[in-house]
């Protein structure tokens, strides 16, 4: 019998460094090979379970109909319902959504929450759409997916350019079709509608919990640790603020267009206030302006890319000057860059652990919705910390035991868990 693994490895040779699904597959292949994953499990686990494509008609404010292309990819259900965000962006594409859905499967497995992976996307430019247009787009997209989502099937959440309001519209549309209120169909909802306290801050907080553990390897304390954050949205902005409050010296931060740097440390609450008022960090007083590209190459102890994919590639990895790379974004580093970082001795907290705080509190939200009993914020945060610290330690031990880098270890650990459950359930083939 032909070895499917060899075929697949061949297929990805000479591949496009910046294709996220190829990046995911390359890492999956390496981990699967090291685990000695059998060919049947390999064949099932390396592809998504379902790729759904929808064309979404929306009545625009002009009165005309515009049709938008949308996706929902459900990568794996072996450990529970699919789980993952929905992003709205002009350049979102199926390969990106496929990669992101697979990353959700591995992420949920790394932190051991009982979900599979999913991800959605709509090709649109949310900055140029009115609130009404976004609402109609969201509702019709939800209606198109009505048979595929649900608390036991697939539970969406916010991602790039979607937020609590988007989740409220999805929850309401789903509930109108079900003819009763179903809060557990999405997470990341407003607290008043069944959301969880602490969910909004959870991804940034999870990044910090990982960094708290990683700096111990370098005998650093937060006060002695300089941090550079790429991004100032839900992950980067909140992560920077929480780290600042925890005593870290945040020396650099960026928004979409520009960055700022002050080696003495930035007053992050003030920076975020400025950003809110001016919608840009440009001309922020008391710091030097840096481009987004240069920001990544600033000297610091911890660099945390919290924006988007493919920021650290074979082109710039060699110029990074951090000790620790904490990946707040999904897929910020390419596999080619991984090799360079490894040679440079940079300690990587891989995305599928570093940014798993969001989905961990999404899990807590789903549990609270289903219990109809809501926890105080301190309890949410304490349980998140417990989960992140335990997962960090588990991953460090696993990497040591198998003598592999932390990225490979994270994939191996995740694949091993999903494979174990799939093997036990059996493949209905
Ligand atoms: N979009 C977030 C992520 O990439 C959260 C997903 C969720 O909470 O389901 O992890």
Whether the predicted pLDDT of 5 surpasses 70: no
- 406, 396 Cβ separation under 8 angstroms: yes
Indicate which residue's Cα is closest to atom 8 of ligand 1.
Answer: 359
DSSP state letter for 63: S
Exposed, middle or buried: residue 15 (CB in 10 Å: 0-12, 13-18, 19+)?
middle
Ligand 1 centre to CA of 263 (Å) is 32
Confidence of residue 15 (pLDDT cuts 50, 70, 90): low
Query: What mean pLDDT value characterizes the chain?
Result: 96
Given the CA of residue 83, which atom of ligand 1 is nearest to it?
9
Would you give the DSSP letter of residue 36? T
Number of C-beta neighbours around residue 425 at 10 A: 11
Q: 312: helix, coil or strand?
A: strand
3-class SS of residue 132: helix
Does the pTM surpass 0.85? The reply is yes
CA distance 211 to 240: 12
Domain ranges of the chain: 49-181, 202-354
Q: Kindly state the average pLDDT of the residues 196-221.
A: 98
Angle between helices 202-214 and 377-402 (to 10 degrees): 50
Query: Atom 9 of ligand 1 has which residue's CA nearest to it?
Result: 84
Instruction: Report CA(360)–ligand 1 centroid distance (Å).
Output: 9
| pLDDT score of 7 | 41
Task: Establish whether residue 330 lines the binding site of ligand 1, counting it when its CB lies within 6 angstroms of any ligand atom.
Answer: yes
State the architecture of 49-181 in CATH terms.
3-Layer(aba) Sandwich (3.40)
- φ, ψ dihedrals at 291, nearest 5°: -80, 165
pLDDT score at 148: 98
Q: β-pairing, 226-230 with 249-254? A: parallel
DSSP string, 265-308: ---HHHHHHHHHHHSS-TT-TTSEEE-HHHHTTSB-SEEEE-S-
Span from the CA of 359 to the centroid of ligand 1 (angstroms): 5
pLDDT tens column, 299-320: 999 999 999 999 999 999 999 9
Q: Which backbone phi and psi does 290 adopt, to 5 degrees?
A: -135, 150
CATH number at 202-354: 3.40.50.720
Query: Which of 84, 113, 158 is the pocket-test mutation for ligand 1 (most atoms within 8 Å of CB)?
Result: 84
Q: Is the CB of 358 under 6 A from ligand 1?
A: yes
Q: What is the number of the ligand 1 atom nearest to the C-alpha of 155?
A: 9
Give tens-digit pLDDT for 35-82: 999 999 999 999 999 999 999 999 999 999 999 999 999 999 999 999
Give the chain's length.
Answer: 429
Question: Can 49-181 and 202-354 be said to share one CATH topology?
Answer: yes
Report how far residue 108's alpha carbon sits from residue 413's, in angstroms, rounded to the nearest whole number: 11
Atom of ligand 1 nearest to the CA of 362: 8
CA dist 365 and 335 (Å) reads 33
* Closest residue by Cα to residue 166 from 158, 174, 175: 158
- CA pair distance 373, 354, nearest whole angstrom: 28
355 in contact with ligand 1, CB cutoff 6 A: yes
Counting DSSP H helices and E strands in the chain, the numbers are 15, 12
Mutation choice for ligand 1 from 108, 156, 159, 352, CB with most ligand atoms inside 8 A: 159
For ligand 1, mutation pick of 104, 149, 391 (most atoms within 8 Å of CB)? 104
Calculate how far, in angstroms, residue 166's C-alpha sits from the geometric centre of ligand 1: 14
Task: Give first-to-last CA distance, the chain, whole Å.
Answer: 18
Q: Distance between CA atoms of 158 and 164, rounded to whole angstroms?
A: 7
Rounded (10°) CA dihedral 93, 95, 99, 101 = 60
Point out the residues that are catalytic.
119
| CA–CA dist 84, 105 (Å, integer) | 9
Residue 357 · residue 386 · CB < 8 Å: no
Burial of 165 (0-12, 13-18, 19+ CB in 10 A): middle
Whole-angstrom distance, CA of residue 207 vs CA of residue 193: 26
> Are 29 and 409 in contact, with CB atoms under 8 Å apart?
no
> Across the beta sheet with 324-326, what order do the strands follow?
288-290, 259-261, 249-254, 226-230, 302-305, 324-326, 347-349
Distances (CA, A) of 93 to 23, 97, 151, 302: 15, 6, 26, 31
In this predicted structure, what is the pLDDT of residue 11? 41
Return the residue whose CA atom lies nearest to atom 6 of ligand 1: 84
Is any ligand 1 atom within 6 A of the Cβ of residue 357?
no
Token look-up 């840096």 returns 290
* Ligand 1 centroid distance, CA of 400 (Å): 28
Q: How many CB atoms sit inside 10 A of residue 256's CB?
A: 13
Q: Is 160 in the pocket of ligand 1 (CB under 6 A)?
A: no
In a mutational test of the pocket of ligand 1, which residue from 87, 358, 364 has the highest number of ligand atoms less than 8 Å from its CB? 358
Q: Is the CB of 359 under 6 A from ligand 1?
A: yes
CB-neighbour burial class of residue 349 (10 A; exposed 0-12, middle 13-18, buried 19+):
buried
Q: Give the mean pLDDT of 248-258.
A: 96
Q: What is the pLDDT of residues 93-126, one digit of tens each?
A: 999 999 999 999 999 999 999 999 999 999 999 9
Could you give the CA distance from residue 67 to residue 40 in angstroms, rounded to a whole number? Answer: 40
Which pLDDT band, with edges at 50, 70 and 90, does 16 fall under? Answer: confident
CA of 311 to the centre of ligand 1 (A): 19
Q: Which atom, in ligand 1's list, is nearest to the CA of 356?
A: 10
Q: How far is the CA of 296 from the centre of ligand 1 (A)?
A: 24
SS3 of residue 85 by DSSP: strand
Identify the pLDDT of residue 37.
98
């Amino acid at each position: 019998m032909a070895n499917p693994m060899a075929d697949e490895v061949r297929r990805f040779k000479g591949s496009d460094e910046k294709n996220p699904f190829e990046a995911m597959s390359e890492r999956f292949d390496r981990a699967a090979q090291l685990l000695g994953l059998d060919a049947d499990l390999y064949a099932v686990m390396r592809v998504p379970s379902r790729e759904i494509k929808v064309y979404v008609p929306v009545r625009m404010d002009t009165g005309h109909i515009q049709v938008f292309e949308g996706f929902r990819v459900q990568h794996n259900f072996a450990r529970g319902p699919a789980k993952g965000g929905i992003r709205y962006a002009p350049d979102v594409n199926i390969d990106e959504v496929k990669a992101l859905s697979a990353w959700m499967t591995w992420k949920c497995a790394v932190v051991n929450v009982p979900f599979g992976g999913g991800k959605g996307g709509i090709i649109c430019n949310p900055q140029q759409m009115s609130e009404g247009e976004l609402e109609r787009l969201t509702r019709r997209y939800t209606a198109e997916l009505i048979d595929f989502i649900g608390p036991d099937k697939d539970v969406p959440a916010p991602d790039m350019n979607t937020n609590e309001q988007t989740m409220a519209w999805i929850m309401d549309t789903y509930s109108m079709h079900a003819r009763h209120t179903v809060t557990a169909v999405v997470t990341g909802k407003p607290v008043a509608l069944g959301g969880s306290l602490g969910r909004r801050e959870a991804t940034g907080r999870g990044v910090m919990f990982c960094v708290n553990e990683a700096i111990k390897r370098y005998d650093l304390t937060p006060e002695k640790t300089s941090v550079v954050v790429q991004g100032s949205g839900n992950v980067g902005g909140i992560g920077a603020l929480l780290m600042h409050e925890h005593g870290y010296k945040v020396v650099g931060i960026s928004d979409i267009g520009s960055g700022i740097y002050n080696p003495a440390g930035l007053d992050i609450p003030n920076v975020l206030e400025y950003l809110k008022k001016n919608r840009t960090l440009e001309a922020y007083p008391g710091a030097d302006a840096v481009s987004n590209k240069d920001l990544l190459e600033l000297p610091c102890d911890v660099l945390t890319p919290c924006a988007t994919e493919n920021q650290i590639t074979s082109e710039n990895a060699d110029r990074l000057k951090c000790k620790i790379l904490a990946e707040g974004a999904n897929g910020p580093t390419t596999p080619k860059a991984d090799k360079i970082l490894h040679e440079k001795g940079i300690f990587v907290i891989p995305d599928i652990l570093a940014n798993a705080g969001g989905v961990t509190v999404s899990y807590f939200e789903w549990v609270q919705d289903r219990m109809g009993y809501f926890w105080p914020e301190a309890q949410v945060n304490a349980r998140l910390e417990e989960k992140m610290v335990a997962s960090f330690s588990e991953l460090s031990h696993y990497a040591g035991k198998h003598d592999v880098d932390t990225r490979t270890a994270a994939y191996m650990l995740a694949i091993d868990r999903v494979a174990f459950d799939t093997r036990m359930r059996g493949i209905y083939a």
